Structure 1
């Protein structure tokens, strides 16, 4: 097994692009090699099998999607009100949709997780940890809303992101900021 971390990251980034473009059936070592522009057989030197490749792609997606620490720090600055929550939710929607291929690859990974126990375990653990972190961070920060509010925002905004990336004509681009604001307003209605 090869240990060049930069090459491994490049292969995983290529795998994300292949998954987003061609789906899970198109994710082969040869397709990853071609996308990465490396000699045929390179990916097979870095990953034991397709299961390993899928699992490693899941890890890589989350590495690339991590928010900038400044964004997390900024969430603690200023007023703790609905406007701040709306601003933070717009940042999340923007960050995820800017990584379009990553989110589409994640959708493919989620479907594959129904057939691959190790991938299912990874995604379950990672998504649960993200939800738990978001709940903890939100409640500690003094922002309005409770744990259920965070979960409902997570669910609603994930579907909004899905629409934006897969069926962008359902809601015109210029509606997304107002839709995020409306989701926050409705979810936090009655919260101080």
Structure 2
């Protein structure tokens, strides 16, 4: 295994550790143990806790950029896309998103980290605005931001999985939530809206 492969493996393991154990649980020893490598390996690649956090944040940015983003051709396809993204939060995307939320909490106290994780949010706002435009919706920056902020606000609730909250917010039905969100921002699809 080459140095770059080992580095990425350690970064991916650090994401899992951060997701499972939170910010306090992210230690070099925990990463080494979870990765099944000799103690001191993570510290060799990322000498300080700040370096380890930076590595996790940079890997989250890389993973975010690797997510395919097909352009939805209509509103129905956009609903399906949003629904799939919401379902992913509680499914395969769970560790990455838990780690991202932990990074955001850390960034509240570490401005250097805020600059890295902000790249994900910035790209997300642009991607969702473009998706709404591609779906033929009458996009304005404010409408696009409202949809994106609502989706971001849904993430912690989906991760926590509280059944009463999910039911009360409609998040227990991701497709219904996506439809209702777009209806709230753009009007109902059958009311002369795309």
Residues 65 and 96 in structure 1, CA contact (< 8 A), matched pair in contact too: no
- The corresponding residue for 1:104 is 98
- The corresponding residue for 2:136 is 143
Query: 1:126 Cα deviation (Å)?
Result: 3.3
Residues 64 and 120 in structure 2, CA contact (< 8 A), matched pair in contact too: no
- C-alpha spacing 1:57/1:145, structure 2 compared with 1 (3 Å): farther
TM alignment of 1:75-154, pairs within 5 A: 75-76=71-72, 78=73, 80=74, 82-97=75-90, 98-136=92-130, 138-139=132-133, 141=134, 143-146=136-139, 147-154=141-148
Residues 86 and 174 in structure 2, CA contact (< 8 A), matched pair in contact too: no
Aligned residue pairs: how many? 183
> Which 5+ residue runs of structure 2 have no aligned equivalent?
none
Give the TM-score of the pair, scaled to structure 1.
0.83
Query: Quick check: 126-135 or 151-160, which moved more?
Result: 126-135
Query: 1:107 Cα deviation (Å)?
Result: 0.8
> Which 5+ residue runs of structure 1 have no aligned equivalent?
none
Residues 83 and 175 in structure 2, CA contact (< 8 A), matched pair in contact too: yes
Query: 1:167 Cα deviation (Å)?
Result: 3.1
Query: Quick check: 121-130 or 29-38, which moved more?
Result: 121-130
Query: 1:153 Cα deviation (Å)?
Result: 1.3
Residues 61 and 119 in structure 2, CA contact (< 8 A), matched pair in contact too: no
TM alignment of 1:55-94, pairs within 5 A: 55-66=54-65, 68-69=67-68, 71-72=69-70, 75-76=71-72, 78=73, 80=74, 82-94=75-87
Runs of 4+ in 1 over 4 A off after TM superposition: none
Distance across 1 between alignment mates of 2:96 and 2:120: 15
Residues 113 and 120 in structure 1, CA contact (< 8 A), matched pair in contact too: yes
- The corresponding residue for 1:178 is 176
Give the TM-score of the pair, scaled to structure 2.
0.82
RMSD: 2.3
Residues 89 and 159 in structure 2, CA contact (< 8 A), matched pair in contact too: no
Query: 1:136 Cα deviation (Å)?
Result: 4.1
**Residues 27-63 of structure 1, C-alpha deviation per residue, up to 9 Å, x if partnerless?**
1100110111111000011113111211221121232
Distance across 2 between alignment mates of 1:120 and 1:129: 14
